Structure 1
Amino acid sequence: MAELSLEIRELRGRLYDGGGSEPIEQLHAQGKLTARERLRLLFDKDQPTVELGLLIAHDLYDGQAPGAGVVTTLGSVSGRDVIVVANDATVRAGAWWPETITKILRAQEVAMRCCIPIIYLIDSAGVNLPYRSGVFPGQYGAARIFYYNAVMRRYLRIPQLAAVMGPCLAAGAYLPALSDVILMVEGTSFMGFGDPDLAKKITGEMLDTEELGGARAHTEVSAVAHYVTESDEACLERLRALVSELPAQESLLSRTATPPQRLSYELYDLIPDDHRQPYDMQSILECILDGEPLQEFQPDHAQEIICGTGLLAGHPLGVIANARGTFKSSDGDSIRFGGVIYAASARKVA
């Protein structure tokens, strides 16, 4: 178990580097920050953050899509809980893979369920064309991102702030356009359905990127965007100022919690290397939940499954856990095995 934990930490470290040192250097040479550098400047210092979906797609596409090219993180900005979607431009220029859609949709659903603002840090070359057949089709394809945009803006009134900090091409331009506030970075941002080469093929006129879809074009001519900033740092500072103007609410991330009854490193001894071996789920829960004991529901019935309520990091929650081992049935006439859901187990969970 300890070796597996070390392996996961090493994998996490590699994924934090995104596409590697060379793309990072190229971004810096353009005067841009990486997605994680932007997040560090955006979030409040010394406050907890929770990243969602770090391991998604890390073992697909021959390792070319760490994190699916997007970082989705729950954190605090100006004392307010927010969820942030940040394109990782070190991974294929932030292009969308099929799993990128999954991560963005999950972040939007967190915003809707928790009623917290969502911030998009956009730096993306658009859809990864070789995999476009997996990006748009289906009920949960890319178009659902824009559907959620509209639902949050029109019906749920959840603030959406978009910062275009690099390219924002083709269908991806719908995402900021459907947000409440749009910021652009002068000199490095571009928003449009096509680049200057495509515009020349259609109109015969040659324009540079700034004229066609740069920060000034969208704040002075089209009026799609609302703020121009001179750098990534200034853009993130403006975002923090805008979020500070939103109503404050109780934080989801910083509640008072009591330590668990047992030390977390005891999990290494409690969980066997072979998952087929039995282990004590009650002891495992004592390593995870806050110090107050689990309030178990029907503890003497269908003992192969544990149901109850407890606290985790100060948050009340329900617990459903398979107990491992062998147990007598409620009538005492038969043996039941942990990890198997029987009719009585299902009724208890329901």
Structure 2
Amino acid sequence: YGASRIFYYNSIMRHYLEVPQLSAVMGPCIAGGAYLPALSDVIVMVEGSSFMGLGGPNLVKGATGQEVESEELGGALTHNAISGVAHYRVEDDRACIARLRELVAELPPAERPEPSPEAAPPARDPSDAYDLFPENHRQPYRMEEVLDTILDEGSLEEFQADFAREMLTGVGSLMGHRVGVIANRRGMFKAADGGAPRFGGIVYADSAEKVAYFMDTCDRHRIPLLFVQDVSGFMVGTEAEHSGIIRAGARMVESMACARVPKIVLTLNHASGAGYYAMAGQGFDPDFIFTWPTGRMGVMEGESAVRAIYGPKLDAAAASGEELDEDTQEAIEHTREEYERQLDARYAAARGFVDAIIYPEETRDVLEFALRTALNNPAPHIGAFTLPDDA
């Protein structure tokens, strides 16, 4: 049997018996041994001393002729920022053991946990969100600062903080309730592997896989999910397609749809296209959907719609140097105005697409009430799945 029996038992315990598994990589973990931590829910690696790889530097040189240092090949930073295999990196062995103890302490008891008596106020006054959130919906901001107005102070532990940074995932507390946070960051993000920078608010293949794994872990650990939406969609183009974004996106959607824990949605800004679906959009029956007055829910933005409908005419006019005819200009302007009207949060609320429009200063209280309500409903939280009468 060899090591395969260990892999077999670990896999069965994790998926069928739902026994949480945590791994600390504090030294070399090579060849088949690298699969052992990879079969865990969470991997913690130590900077400078830990290594994971199917082959070490010497084997790589003998097999391929490539010369590479162990840290670049499979060190803590490599697996946290580039490959996404690991989930946390710490500075030394002592910090690694401390992190494992924290993770064990956060595991759910057999019965539904009550809110922690150590619930803390938020790091920022909720009304600070008016200053943190930009007036122009296209401008970037720091999602972490916005979350500081909602979550208990110091409670957010970011998951895979170095990997696919356009998406923020982590476990925090909301008035003592543990909650898994999935949020879209805005702005531009430097690629850890030296590749092209990434756009915030866009879901890439890596970020979809990151979120899917995080949701699966939260589901096994019975941690409710809070989706904080500011998403414009999935990345498109040759590079995106070659990265397998369709499969990764489908995995993200499937993990979200099948999660048995409560799912609560807060829309801050954009909520467009397939990205909106993947972030627990209305069609997936999350327990509650709330939006700030700044929420913009729709298939796409007005400018994107203009481009999709009138792209050939716009390109032809630009190439010839001629202006568009008056009817086309009026149609384009009407499209912009109509999309702007339908993107308004009040349009969505009036049609029942959201449960309520809430303000930043009441967000924390409303979310806690919704979370408490959802936790009192029996699992699984997968909505009303109804078969047709003739099925």
Q: If the length of structure 2 is used for normalisation, what is the TM-score? A: 0.48
CA contact under 8 A between 1:122 and 1:164: conserved in structure 2? yes
The question of 1:101 aligning with 2:208 is answered: yes
Deviation per CA, 1:243-295: give whole Å up to 9, x if none: 244448xxxxxxxxxxxxxxxxxxxxxxxxxxxxxxxxxxxxxxxxxxxxxxx
Q: What is the rounded CA distance, in whole Å, between the counterparts of 1:135 and 1:219 in structure 2? A: 35
Residue of 281, 306, 320 corresponding to 1:176: 281
Q: What is the rounded CA distance, in whole Å, between the counterparts of 2:236 and 2:202 in structure 1? A: 9
The question of 1:44 aligning with 2:152 is answered: yes
Q: Give unpaired runs (5+ residues) of structure 1.
A: 13-24, 58-66, 249-350
Equivalent in the alignment of 1:218: 348
Aligned runs of 1:33-182 on 2, under 5 Å?
A: 34-46=142-154, 48-57=155-164, 67=165, 69-91=166-188, 92-130=199-237, 131-133=239-241, 134=243, 136-138=245-247, 141-152=248-259, 156=260, 158-174=261-277, 175-177=280-282, 178=284, 179-182=286-289
Equivalent in the alignment of 2:62: none
Equivalent in the alignment of 2:196: none
Deviation at residue 27 of structure 1 after TM alignment: 5.2
Q: What is the rounded CA distance, in whole Å, between the counterparts of 2:250 and 2:363 in structure 1? A: 27
CA contact under 8 A between 1:163 and 1:183: conserved in structure 2? yes
Q: What is the rounded CA distance, in whole Å, between the counterparts of 2:309 and 2:134 in structure 1? A: 33
* SS at 2:203 equivalent: coil
Deviation at residue 74 of structure 1 after TM alignment: 0.7
Residue of 295, 299, 316 corresponding to 1:189: 295
Instruction: Give the AA of the match of 1:85.
Output: I
Deviation at residue 98 of structure 1 after TM alignment: 1.7
Instruction: Give the AA of the match of 2:347.
Output: A
The question of 1:228 aligning with 2:361 is answered: no
Instruction: Give the AA of the match of 1:238.
Output: V
Instruction: Give the AA of the match of 1:194.
Output: M
Instruction: Give the AA of the match of 1:149.
Output: M
Q: What is the rounded CA distance, in whole Å, between the counterparts of 2:363 and 2:169 in structure 1? A: 19
Deviation per CA, 1:312-348: give whole Å up to 9, x if none: xxxxxxxxxxxxxxxxxxxxxxxxxxxxxxxxxxxxx
Q: What is the rounded CA distance, in whole Å, between the counterparts of 2:219 and 2:132 in structure 1? A: 36
Q: For residues 148 and 4 of structure 1, do their structure 2 counterparts lie closer, same or farther at Cα, with a shift above 3 Å needed?
A: closer
Deviation per CA, 1:102-135: give whole Å up to 9, x if none: 2210221122101121011111221222443135
Deviation per CA, 1:130-162: give whole Å up to 9, x if none: 443135333xx112222223223xxx3x21011
Q: What is the rounded CA distance, in whole Å, between the counterparts of 1:208 and 1:79 in structure 2? A: 43
* SS at 1:172 equivalent: helix
CA contact under 8 A between 1:78 and 1:243: conserved in structure 2? no
Once superposed, what is the RMSD of the aligned Cα atoms? Answer: 3.3
CA contact under 8 A between 1:127 and 1:135: conserved in structure 2? no
Deviation at residue 240 of structure 1 after TM alignment: 2.9
Give the total of aligned pairs: 213
CA contact under 8 A between 2:287 and 2:374: conserved in structure 1? no
* SS at 2:300 equivalent: coil
Q: Give unpaired runs (5+ residues) of structure 2.
A: 1-25, 27-45, 50-75, 82-87, 89-130, 189-198, 311-330, 377-391
Equivalent in the alignment of 2:367: 239
CA contact under 8 A between 1:44 and 1:77: conserved in structure 2? yes
Q: What is the rounded CA distance, in whole Å, between the counterparts of 1:77 and 1:190 in structure 2? A: 25
Q: For residues 49 and 234 of structure 1, do their structure 2 counterparts lie closer, same or farther at Cα, with a shift above 3 Å needed?
A: same
CA contact under 8 A between 1:35 and 1:86: conserved in structure 2? yes
Q: What is the rounded CA distance, in whole Å, between the counterparts of 1:28 and 1:79 in structure 2? A: 29
* SS at 1:42 equivalent: coil
Q: For residues 240 and 26 of structure 1, do their structure 2 counterparts lie closer, same or farther at Cα, with a shift above 3 Å needed?
A: closer
CA contact under 8 A between 1:210 and 1:217: conserved in structure 2? no
* SS at 2:163 equivalent: coil
Percent of aligned positions that are identical: 20
Q: For residues 37 and 51 of structure 1, do their structure 2 counterparts lie closer, same or farther at Cα, with a shift above 3 Å needed?
A: same
Deviation per CA, 1:33-60: give whole Å up to 9, x if none: 52101222222225x4321111114xxx
Q: If the length of structure 1 is used for normalisation, what is the TM-score? A: 0.53
Instruction: Give the AA of the match of 2:222.
Output: C
